[in-house]
Amino acid sequence: PIISSNLPVLREVLINNYNSTLVNPENSLKWIEKIDFLLNNNTVIAENAYKNFCDHFQWNTRADKYLKYFAQI
C-alpha cells in the first residue's frame, strides 16, 4: 500500500483510501495511526494501487498512449 503526504500535486494520481492513504504531512500522530491501519487493512488499497499502476503508469502503457496520440496528429 502507498502512504503519502496529502499534497495537491500527489492527489492528481493518488486517491485517498482507494489506491493510497493520504496524510497531513505535519501531523505525525496521524501518520502513526495510518501506518497502524495499513498494517492490518492493506489488501484492498494495495490491490487498487497495483491495478492503477498497471493500467496507467507502466512504460508500455504510457508509450501506447503517446503513440496513439501522435498517430492522430
The cell for 67 is 503513440
DSSP assignment string, 2-43? -EEE--TTGGGT--BTTTBEEE-TT-HHHHHHHHHHHHHS-H
Tens digit of pLDDT for each residue in 49-71? 999 988 888 888 888 888 999 99
The Cα–Cα gap between 1 and 59 comes to 21
Tens digit of pLDDT for each residue in 18-53? 999 999 999 999 999 999 888 887 688 889 999 998
The Cα–Cα gap between 16 and 45 comes to 9
